[in-house]
Amino acid sequence: MLDPCVEPRRQFSKDATDVRERKDREPRIGFFGHFGQINFGNESTLQAMLYNIRRCVPGAELTCICTNPEVTATSYGVDAVQMNGVFLKPQWLQGDPLSRTLRKIIIGIPSEVFRWYKAVCTLKDLDALIVVGTGLLTDAYGLVSWGPYSVFKWSVIARACRCKLLFVSVGAGPIYGPLGRWLIRAALSLADFRSYRDLATMQCVRGIGVRTSHDRVYPDLAFSLPENVMPHDDLQKRRRPVVGLGLMQYAGRLSAESPSDAVYRAYLENLVRFVGWLFGRGYDVRLLIGDIFDRPVTREFKSLLRERLGSYDEERVIDEPIGSVEQLLSQIATTDAVVATRFHNVLLALMLKRPVISISFHQKCVSLMREMGLAEYCQNINQLDAERLMEQFCELEENADELRRVIGQKTDEYRSALDEQYGAIGRELRGSRLGARCSI
């Protein structure tokens, strides 16, 4: 927009200078997602993206727009800003409906206007905004905070600031409400480039009205983690083989539209039976988590294990705290096989060529196992059955060598496919000011 206080000729000259400067410098790229050492799957996705963009676009200036910018900036050496800003909720305006309405009018609306302004300040100097998965395209947790409103807001502002908008290997769903569908559809419709981590995601967004004829399917970005973070197998100096058991807090509406605590209780009870069976077959068990909010689940599980099995050698259950993707990978490397619930516990185990059984809480788990050729080693968490789990594990033992070969072949294919995607994105980002629509 022209500044009416500046002579038009001078204004046009300034605009032309800005364009030349932007073409001459390395691109400035923003990454959008729920980052900050809370969920190790999200962190692995960001690590993969940062590593590969730095490889493909050396010298690019990188910024993360995320949930926990302080931790992100310190961990990855990038600039970072808050995704949602601070939500003020004074005690005197909480409680009854009238007070909550007053809070929205007096504090909520002005605060949100200010957050939009801050987002404009962040994006006005960026060349591209890349949305990096992390559960953004669902309304299972509501519309704001971790819901789709944030990605809608930043997508609108990106286009207003002439900032290229890319959704890269994202997942989606479940999407329950009409407003959630509208926000997600609107955000995706503004994108210059879209790719999805599986066909189920593409079908989901097509079902809410997004045109996908020019979109692509690429694997989850975590399959492109750099080789140097992959630990070597650590299977020595052990008395017994080890099964990694990945536990997860109750997924709620992410798993079912009408969630039930009974499902969670049955989940733990069935896993306790399974662990007792593993003990009888000579295995130790290592507890794995994928999110810091899973820590209480491990305590609850061990308490239930003592209650159901009575006395047992507690050294046979290995439970060590972790705080990073690297530590999670190191723990998986000490296992012979993995039975896990969280998506990225399964995915990272596959990257380390571990035979895996997935306890699926979301369509993405089913899709991953099917595409890896492991569909028969998957169970729905809502109908988890310990007897069937034991049968699947026996099959896993019998076919372990062949499964490792198949898993290794597929993960190599996924890495190559993601290299192709990074190369295309890198060529685009190294090009002109991204003034034309993305040609990937």
- 427-438 per-position pLDDT tens digit: 878 763 333 333
Residue 223, pLDDT score: 98
Residue whose pair of structure tokens reads 């923003």 in the numeric block: 30
SS3 (DSSP) at 216: strand
Q: Which two tokens stand for residue 113?
A: 């206007």
Of 21 and 133, the structure prediction assigns the larger pLDDT to 133
Beta bridge partners of 337: 243
| Bond before 174 cis per omega within 30 degrees | yes
CA-nearest of 39, 38, 76 to 54 is 76
pLDDT of residue 310: 86
Model pLDDT for residues 361-407, shown as the tens digit of each residue: 999 999 999 999 999 999 999 999 999 999 999 999 999 999 999 99
- What domains can be seen in the chain, in order of their start residue? 13-227+415-430 (3.40.50.2000), 232-412 (3.40.50.2000)
**DSSP element (H, E) containing 113:** helix 109-123
The model scores a pTM over 0.85: yes
Q: Measuring CA to CA, which residue among 222, 172, 191, 183 is closest to residue 350? A: 222
If phi > 0 it is left, if psi is from -120 to 50 it is alpha, else beta; for residue 49 that is alpha
Question: For residue 372, what are its two tokens?
Answer: 């890896």
Indicate the average pLDDT of the chain.
Answer: 88
The arithmetic mean of pLDDT across residues 116-136, rounded, is: 93
What pLDDT is recorded for position 102?
A: 58
pLDDT tier at 104, thresholds 50, 70, 90: low
**pLDDT, position 111:** 80
- For residues 326-334, give the mean pLDDT: 96
At 141 the three-state DSSP class reads: coil
- Distance, CA of 39 to CA of 19 (rounded, Å): 39
Percent of the chain with pLDDT over 70: 86
Q: Which residues touch 280 (CB under 8 Å, ≥6 apart)?
A: none
Q: What is the average pLDDT across 316-322?
A: 95
Q: 21-49 burial by CB neighbour count: b if 16+ within 10 A, else e?
A: ebeeeebbbbbbbbbbbebbbbbbbbbbb
- DSSP code string of 10-60: HHHHHHHHHHHHHHHSPPEEEEEE--SSSBHHHHHHHHHHHHHHHHHSTT-
Spatial distance between the Cα atoms of 289 and 322, rounded to a whole number of angstroms: 8
Classify 310 as helix, strand or coil.
coil
- Return d(Cα 16, Cα 219) in angstroms, integer: 40
Helix, strand and coil in the chain, % to nearest 5: 55, 15, 35
Per-residue pLDDT at 130: 97
pLDDT band at 312 (very low <50, low <70, confident <90, very high): confident
Residue 12's pLDDT is 38
Strand 216-217 and strand 317-318: the pairing is unpaired
C-beta pairs of 409-414 under 8 Å, 24+ apart in sequence:
410/350, 410/371, 410/372, 410/373, 411/223, 411/350, 411/351, 411/353, 414/219, 414/223, 414/224
pLDDT of residue 37: 79
Average pLDDT over residues 112-131: 94
CA–CA dist 17, 47 (Å, integer): 35
Mean pLDDT over 269-298 rounds to: 97
Is pLDDT above 90 for 108?
no
